[in-house]
Amino acid sequence: MSKQSGFSLVELVIVIVVVGLLAVAALPRFLDVTDEAKKASIEGVAGGYATGVLSARAQWEARSRPSVTVGNERYNTVNYDGMDFWLTRAQDSSGTSTDFRDGYPFALNDNGGSAPGSLNDQNCVDLMDNLLQNPPQVDTVANASSNDDIRYSAQADGSNWTCTYVQQEGNSAHQFVYEIRTGRVTVTLQ
């Protein structure tokens, strides 16, 4: 006669209860993984963006602070990674303070003309597209609202000289802001 062996009903119930308790304790952690991934994503993009800003400025310093004269004004400019950028300047040609720190990118120098006197959404889109090696899809707020492929919307605040980039994935309102006056990049997680 062979003796059958296996789990008793009590042992099975105990295992099921323990597995259930583990699932209840772990489930909230798994549900929170998506939001944590979005936070990590924007922090990574903002970190890469800040590195691009500082690298462009470092390139300008390494090349002995190149500038061009257009009319009677001198403008800072640099070729960074194959793209020409207009950079901020602390003083205009008459020596008057501009309330900016020297050497931070604010627009593409794609026509060789004078630097733009104001900031617009397209400047912010161009900055992200050209400061990062492999940028995520970015576009203006209007275009991002109608296109699911856009990962970040870009919006300029011309009076404060800032570019705000808002993560478009899911319902997050995570964002980072590039303060052109100082070169600072700040992340805000919602």
pLDDT of residue 25: 82
Contact 48, 81 (CB under 8 A): no
Strands 138-140 and 152-157, how do they pair?
parallel
Query: Is the pTM here over 0.75, yes or no?
Result: yes
Sign of the dihedral defined by the CA atoms of residues 33, 145, 126, 118, in that order: negative
pLDDT of residue 176: 97
Q: b vs e for 54-64, b when ≥16 Cβ sit within 10 Å of the residue's Cβ?
A: eebbebbeeee
pLDDT of residue 1: 63
